Structure 1
Amino acid sequence: MSRKPSRRARLVFWGVLMVLAIPFVFPTWWMVTSSFKPVADILALPPQLFPTTWRFDAYRDVFEVQPFARQYLNSVYIALLVTAGTLVVSSMAGYAFARIRFRGQNLLFLVVLVGLLIPSEVTIVPLFQMFRQLDMINTHWPLILVPILGAPSVLTTFIMRQFFLNLPVELEEAARIDGLGRLAMFLRVALPLARPALGAVAIFTFLHSWNLFLEPVVMLSSPELFTLPQALTQFVDAYGGPMWNLQLAAASMTAIPVLVVFVIAQKQFVEGLAHTGLKG
């Protein structure tokens, strides 16, 4: 019978965790608090934990320097569309690789996994040429279609495949006896049980789309079409120097949806990763 840790041991454990968390928490704390500081205090040494003078001008000026509200909306709707599309594609592809047997299945899955080894910098020029021929440059279509149908969805397909491999086959056999076809078994049996994996896929996909930088820089040229990572680079003065207070205020607002998504889906995220890679 295991003994319950003493109160002193728990205090020491939590104390060590708090100390280890400082290098991870301090940059975020500095970013948020510095967005309320005068420009002269932002780069002060040593760094100030709290502003000596609280100023909210940066949060107003962010929307006046450029169309930040429109850019914010661009990132939101693109990330949501990419997440929804990736959930559909990766869940169906993962289920097919896990449950449907066909000739060359393993070889095809190996080819799909090779997509993880290809950097996005290698494919950006061919993608630009392809979308230019389709007259989709300076639109949001490349930012939506490439993550859903391209290499970024390989990891999510792998996660879904590994999860479906761990589902008991007896569940589907019972459904088949009840007269359900393959699609019905996927929609009524497998997919409802895959919520932990879907949560992990949703977080991975949302974060990837939200932080996407290279593709927007190459594909977009109109400020009203920019997404947030690209928009953050535009807060510069007339001499090309960074406007630190505006950049930090915009970055603080950019981090909010990421925190919200993770808080909502963190349980499914952990459970989904726990079921990944256990069987293959």
Structure 2
Amino acid sequence: MTLSNIIRIDGYIQSSYLAIYPDKLLLLDGCCRADVPIVLRYIKNTLQRPISDLKVVMVTHMHPDHAGGAHKLREATGCLVVSADKPKQWYAGIGGQMMHLVDIGLAHYVANRQNRPFKKLWYSAHLQADIKVSDGDRIPRFEDWQVLETPGHTDRDLSLFHLPTRQVYTADLIIKLRHKFVAPFPIYDPKAYINSLQKIKNLNPTKVMMAHGRELAIDAATFDMLIVQAPKEPRTVKDTIKHKLRGKKSNFSEY
């Protein structure tokens, strides 16, 4: 069966994308915990389909607005959760648990800035994926989609490339703020991030679907601008705190 459409669903603090086929559905990211009822209502009420048609939920990385709803969507629909093949959890150890709390706090901060009502965002720090994938793999049950490793924001970011239409979902690789494109916050590996931008540029995609923004055609000149302006040093919460203490300007608001 061929792809019928890709629908953008406005989530709590991000856009979620649902790939629609006559006999199955693919959610391109795990969204927020608060988005689970929104996704299920869309399937039942707008599409008038059984929620069991949701066969796969991808998790591109472990932040609250990309992994927060994955487990609950699986509980509700029986779908597969698919994510990057990494040897350890992103939020591993005591430091990881602390980072998990900080990231949930950041998600609440973003929601407050967007004047969103308070919602529960808590989710497990450890993702229990049914299937793990690597660069170049096809998404299980959706062989027309290719998995691309695009790290930098974290060590396990994935982008998802629909081969027949050359549309690509890049999660947080590129952020669209009002009238400008910016790098995400945090950036853990600037060199890997620049390589990831170049990788997507080289695809010459017809459309780029962004979690923070919307679906847009992005030309080569814009990719070149993003590459030139990309951070050359890591930008993390720890770095931001250091800059604040030193009285330097921070890009924290771009999270």
> What TM-score bracket applies, with the shorter chain setting the length?
under 0.3
Q: TM-score, normalised by structure 2?
A: 0.23
Select the structure of larger CA radius of gyration. 1
Q: TM-score, normalised by structure 1?
A: 0.21
From the two aligned structures, give the one with the greater helix fraction: 1
From the two aligned structures, give the one with the greater strand fraction: 2
